[in-house]
């Protein structure tokens, strides 16, 4: 089965990483991030093997093997969404929740917090910033698409909002497009803690949110 190439635009990543998800990046990290994100787009995964980013800015990467039972579970979850685009988005949220619980024990992220930042962190490797979260969600969505489990949606590149000068912290999210309406939807898992379902909302609404 062909590998799935993950995509996070370098300029988006660098812009967001410079002030990671709510202003939590260390100032000294900024120069390192431009090189770090150069190779994200070249990372490969397939329905049998995914790479989970954690530790902020994908500093830590854990390979997770997906077994036949894992793929069967994904098919079961998405099977519940065949009735309509709305049902499929609900199934996508359940799949993201399952994925978080599935990879957590192997990646060491079972205690990750909602909206995690560098501040007051004693175990950064166990946490996700929005770069990690949006990339991991896009990884899962791409695997679902590769397995032909998405009937109503197409996986898009991650999208970022906020630039400080507009009064908002930078933040990134995974995105899917409803094939029936061409409407884009944000699938934002960074706003939730371990094992919780992500936010699923119209991208135009998500783009208008956020503040300092």
> Taking the alpha carbons of 57, 206, 196, 41 in that order, is the dihedral positive or negative?
negative
Q: Which residue has the tokens 């490797």?
A: 125
State how far the Cα of 147 lies from the Cα of 144, in Å rounded to an integer. 5
DSSP β-ladder status, 49-54 and 44-45 = unpaired
> Which helix (H) or strand (E) covers residue 72, if one does?
helix 68-79
Closest CA to 8 of 209, 210, 156, 170: 156
Instruction: Determine the pLDDT at residue 45.
Output: 72
Q: Where are the domains of the chain?
A: 4-207
Q: How far is CA 14 from the centre of its chain?
A: 16
Taking the model in full, what pTM does it have? 0.83
Give residue 25's pLDDT: 44
Q: For each of the chain's 212 residues, which pLDDT tens digit applies?
A: 333 334 444 334 434 444 556 654 433 333 344 334 444 444 557 899 999 999 999 999 999 999 999 999 999 999 999 999 999 999 999 999 999 999 999 999 999 999 997 665 678 999 999 999 999 999 999 999 999 999 999 999 999 998 777 777 889 999 999 999 999 999 999 999 999 999 999 999 999 997 54
Query: Which residues neighbour 22 within 8 Å (Cβ) at sequence distance 6 or greater?
Result: 115, 117, 169, 171
**Residue in this structure with the two tokens 């770090």, named with its chain if needed:** 36
């Amino acid at each position: 089965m062909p590998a799935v190439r993950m995509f996070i635009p370098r300029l988006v990543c660098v812009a967001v990483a410079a002030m990671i998800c709510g202003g939590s990046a260390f100032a000294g990290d900024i120069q390192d991030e431009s090189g770090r994100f150069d190779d994200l787009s070249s990372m490969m995964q397939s329905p049998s093997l995914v790479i989970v980013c954690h530790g902020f800015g994908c500093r830590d990467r854990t390979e997770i093997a997906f077994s036949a039972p894992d793929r069967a579970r994904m098919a079961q979850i998405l099977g519940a969404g065949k009735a309509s685009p709305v049902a499929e988005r609900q199934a996508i949220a359940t799949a993201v929740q399952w994925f978080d619980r599935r990879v957590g024990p192997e990646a060491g992220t079972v205690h990750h917090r909602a909206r995690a930042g560098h501040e007051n962190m004693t175990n950064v490797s166990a946490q996700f910033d929005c770069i990690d979260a949006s990339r991991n969600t896009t990884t899962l969505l791409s695997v679902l698409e590769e397995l032909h489990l998405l009937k109503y949606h197409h996986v898009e590149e991650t999208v970022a909002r906020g630039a400080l000068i507009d009064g908002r912290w930078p933040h990134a999210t995974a995105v899917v497009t409803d094939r029936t309406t061409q409407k884009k939807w944000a699938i934002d898992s960074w706003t939730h803690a371990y094992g919780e379902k992500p936010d699923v909302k119209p991208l135009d609404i998500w783009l208008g949110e956020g503040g300092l």
